[in-house]
Amino acid sequence: MPEAGCRTIVHYFSRRWKSQRQMTVSKHYVTDTCRHHEYLSLTARRKLKHRISRPMPNNCVWGCDLLVRKNRQGQPQLALGILNHASRARCGCIGCPTNPHGR
């Protein structure tokens, strides 16, 4: 819960563990704990973000994304990109028609 504040963490912790183990925490305790372990949480997030993905079979998962490319006149143009997640290879890039009236 990287975007959660101390009150949210207290709420979810107390909700989860109050009935099973009769445990609750205070906002002050959560604030101090988050402050003391801030560097550890930042390094853990960085490791998760930059980890190497697990190998997956080819042609199993595909993705698509809208992107903006500049044409020969320098004007932005929408395009649809299709790629294979396993090989991260781009399989196609199709230009989308634009509305000349801007609506």
Angle formed at CA 75 by CA 71 and CA 80, multiple of 5 degrees: 60
- From first to last of its 103 residues, the chain has per-residue pLDDT tens of 777 888 999 999 989 888 888 888 999 999 999 899 999 988 998 998 888 877 777 777 788 888 888 888 888 888 888 887 777 666 666 776 665 555 5
| pLDDT for 28 | 93
Q: How far is CA 76 from CA 22, 67, 68, 96, 97, in A?
A: 59, 10, 6, 11, 12
Q: Which amino acid is at 81?
A: G
Residue 49, pLDDT score: 86
Give the model's pLDDT for residue 66.
84
Q: What is the pLDDT of residue 54?
A: 74
Residues paired with 74 in a beta bridge: none
Contacts of 85 (CB under 8 A, 6+ apart): 56, 60, 61, 62, 63
pLDDT value at residue 90: 64
Q: Which residues pair with 70 in a beta bridge?
A: 76
Which strands, in side-by-side order, build the sheet including 76-84?
A: 62-70, 76-84, 89-95
At 99 the pLDDT is: 58
What pLDDT is attached to residue 88? 66
Q: Judge whether 68 and 79 are in contact, CB under 8 Å.
A: yes
